[in-house]
């Protein structure tokens, strides 16, 4: 894995493997990685990749979870902008199938985060609903075809399928000033009288087993992003004779990446065996996200210490990858997720350790 540094737009990036893969999957991973490399930083190309190839990926829990997460990690190692477009599209398709619905055509997002102020409201309108209000954290809401959007029905949260071409949907301009994932505008949407189709009953989105599975899929993307950063550190050590400090950083990064990949592989095996439903599934998600996120932060820190300011100041690809990963990681709730995991330890005295 360490000899796969990409130094330019035409460079080859090898896939990232989580668990075992068969020959045909290896070929497909290589193809997806090459496509992601070609689309790097280009949202339009990333949307085309998601639309044309997203349905080819398996759903979590179907026996090929390690391959699914390998694909997400491989694409992330090539380019995090592409991964940020593809991951919610694939997640939306999985959610629709879990609800017994066909995903349909076009590109999809999942807008289910809560934001400040009055929440988005859903009001019954005949056999359907209409949505009114502002929804925060709507990644590419202005360019996607469809989205699964959470809204309040009374005091409960429910998920709805929305056609983003509806005239009542407006992206709020000038709100996305991020330096990381700069091309993936994730500002709010204003919705006025927007037709919406319910997907699952109230509360179903958060209670379904797939919520935890999707959360681990996001961690697979973080992992791939960390591998992309780490490859730059490895390349520096292969281009000149590394001193003891360089070897120290590289060794620590290798161990951290091995640990993160191991827990992802273990989670994929458990998921396919039917062991990650209910409370065990969410506990596994918290554990995996904790280990992968802290690995990513360790890789970012070690790479910065090992390389110094040069690559951050003079290499567009490396600087963008670092900024993208730092922002992407903030989907992890850090100490709050650690506290949630601690609460599960307190509540379950029969813990496996």
The string of pLDDT tens digits covering residues 102-114 is: 887 899 999 999 9
Check residue 12 and give its pLDDT: 60
Strand partners, 133: 191
Check residue 317 and give its pLDDT: 95
Check residue 306 and give its pLDDT: 95
**Count of helix runs (H) and strand runs (E) in the chain:** 11, 7
pLDDT of 7 strictly over 70: no
Lowest mean pLDDT among 185-189, 266-270, 278-282: 278-282
In the DSSP assignment, the letter for residue 120 is P
In the DSSP assignment, the letter for residue 59 is P
- Token digits of residue 324: 């993208």
Are the beta carbons of 6 and 231 closer than 8 angstroms? yes
Check residue 291 and give its pLDDT: 97
Strand 121-125 vs strand 108-111: parallel, antiparallel, or unpaired?
unpaired
Check residue 130 and give its pLDDT: 97
Dist. CA 308–CA 253, nearest whole Å: 16
Mean pLDDT of the region 166-187: 96
Strand 121-125 vs strand 156-163: parallel, antiparallel, or unpaired?
unpaired
Provide the pLDDT confidence category of residue 351 given band limits of 50, 70 and 90: confident
Lowest mean pLDDT among 1-15, 123-137, 219-233, 311-325: 1-15
Mean pLDDT of the region 310-314: 96
pLDDT of 13 strictly over 90: no
Check residue 104 and give its pLDDT: 77
Distances in Å between the Cα of 318 and the Cα atoms of 77, 90, 116, 222, 237 are 11, 26, 33, 15, 16
Tell me what percent of the residues of the chain surpass a pLDDT of 90: 84
Strand 108-111 vs strand 146-153: parallel, antiparallel, or unpaired?
parallel
Q: What is the dihedral of CA 178, 180, 181, 184, to 10 degrees?
A: 0
Are the beta carbons of 15 and 30 closer than 8 angstroms? yes
Average per-residue pLDDT for the chain: 93
Q: Report the length, in residues, of the chain.
A: 353
pLDDT of 21 strictly over 90: no
Are the beta carbons of 121 and 108 closer than 8 angstroms? no
pLDDT of 88 strictly over 90: yes
Mean pLDDT of the region 176-191: 97
pLDDT of 326 strictly over 90: yes
Lowest mean pLDDT among 103-107, 193-197, 322-326: 103-107
Query: Which tops the pLDDT comparison, 12 or 54?
Result: 54
- Neighbouring residues of 28: CB distance < 8 A, sequence distance ≥ 6: 56, 71
pLDDT of 8 strictly over 70: no
Domains in the chain with CATH codes: 1-101+203-353 (1.20.140.10), 108-198 (2.40.110.10)
Dist. CA 324–CA 333, nearest whole Å: 17
Distances in Å between the Cα of 37 and the Cα atoms of 49, 79, 108, 276 are 11, 7, 21, 33
Check residue 3 and give its pLDDT: 43
């Amino acid at each position: 894995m360490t000899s796969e540094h990409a130094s330019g737009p035409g460079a080859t990036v090898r896939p990232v493997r989580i668990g075992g893969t068969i020959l045909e999957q290896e070929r497909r991973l290589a193809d997806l990685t090459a496509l992601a490399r070609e689309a790097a930083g280009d949202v339009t190309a990333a949307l085309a990749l998601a639309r044309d190839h997203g349905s080819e990926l398996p759903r979590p829990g179907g026996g090929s979870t390690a391959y699914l997460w390998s694909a997400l990690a491989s694409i992330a190692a090539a380019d995090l902008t592409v991964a940020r477009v593809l991951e919610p599209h694939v997640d939306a398709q999985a959610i629709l199938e879990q609800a017994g619905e066909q995903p349909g055509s076009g590109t999809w997002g999942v807008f289910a985060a809560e934001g400040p102020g009055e929440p988005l409201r859903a009001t019954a309108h005949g056999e359907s609903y209409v949505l009114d209000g502002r929804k925060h954290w709507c990644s590419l809401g202005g360019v996607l075809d469809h989205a699964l959007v959470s809204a309040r029905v009374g005091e409960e949260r429910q998920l709805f399928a929305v056609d983003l071409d509806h005239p009542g949907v407006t992206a709020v301009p000038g709100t996305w000033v991020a330096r990381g994932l700069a091309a993936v505008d994730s500002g709010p949407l204003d919705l006025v009288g927007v037709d919406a189709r319910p997907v699952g009953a109230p509360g179903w989105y958060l209670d379904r087993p797939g919520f935890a599975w999707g959360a681990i899929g996001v961690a697979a993307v973080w992992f791939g992003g960390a591998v992309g950063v780490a490859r730059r550190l490895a390349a520096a050590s292969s281009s000149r004779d590394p001193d003891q400090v360089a070897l120290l950083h590289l060794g620590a990064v290798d161990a951290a990446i091995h640990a993160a990949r191991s827990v992802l592989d273990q989670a994929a095996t458990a998921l396919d065996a039917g062991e990650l439903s209910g409370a065990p599934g969410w506990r596994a998600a918290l554990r995996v996200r904790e280990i992968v996120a802290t690995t990513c932060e360790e890789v970012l820190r070690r790479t910065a210490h090992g390389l110094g300011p040069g690559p951050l100041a003079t290499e567009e690809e490396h600087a963008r990858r670092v900024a993208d990963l730092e922002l992407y990681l903030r989907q992890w709730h850090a100490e709050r997720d650690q506290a949630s995991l601690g609460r599960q330890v307190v509540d379950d005295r029969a813990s496996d350790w």
